[in-house]
Amino acid sequence: MSPTTAAECLFCRIVAGEVPAAVVAETDRSVAFRDVSPQAPTHVLVVPRRHVANAADLAEASAEELSDVVALAGQVAVREGLAGAYRMVFNTGAGAGQTVFHAHLHVLGGRPLSWPPG
């Protein structure tokens, strides 16, 4: 179960236009906007318009909406000049660093990305 309701969710408020964000791309199902605290020269978050807590819940709710998030992330990566060298990350759970409990895909690139991550 989501620990955050849609009414109090930061990313729902960004999707609704109630909280400003630097939107870089959108579809009828997803919105992509710049992370306010970038961890790489390009750091974009792609979120489904639907409020669900994490990627697995999104997959259960709608495979098409999960696919739309990933496809839009790929388009953003190309547009940002990252094709061939970027990372997509879904942090899932507080212990893995998730702080906003509305599913979001981090798209990171523009610098060397080590593996495994620290």
- Measured from the CB atom, the residue of 11 and 86 that comes closer to Zn ion is 11
Active site residue 106: no
In this chain, which of 68, 86, 102, 105 binds Zn ion, going by CB under 5 A?
A: 102
98 binds ligand 5GP (CB under 6 A): yes
Q: Contacts with Zn ion in 9-38 (CB under 5 A)? A: 9, 11-12
61 within 8 A of 2, measured Cβ to Cβ: no
69 binds Zn ion (CB under 5 A): no
Which is nearest to 116 in space by CA: 82, 87, 76, 92?
87
86 within 8 A of 105, measured Cβ to Cβ: no
Per-residue binder mask for ligand 5GP (CB under 6 A), 12-41, x = binder: ---------x-----------xxxxx----
In this chain, which of 78, 93, 97, 111 binds ligand 5GP, going by CB under 6 A?
A: 97
What DSSP character marks residue 106?
E
42 binds ligand 5GP (CB under 6 A): no
Which residues are CB-contacts of 38 (< 8 A; sequence separation ≥ 6)? Answer: none
Q: Which residues of 3-15 are buried (b: 16+ CB within 10 A; e: fewer)?
A: eeeeeebebbbbb
- Measured from the CB atom, the residue of 99 and 114 that comes closer to ligand 5GP is 99
Catalytic residues: 104
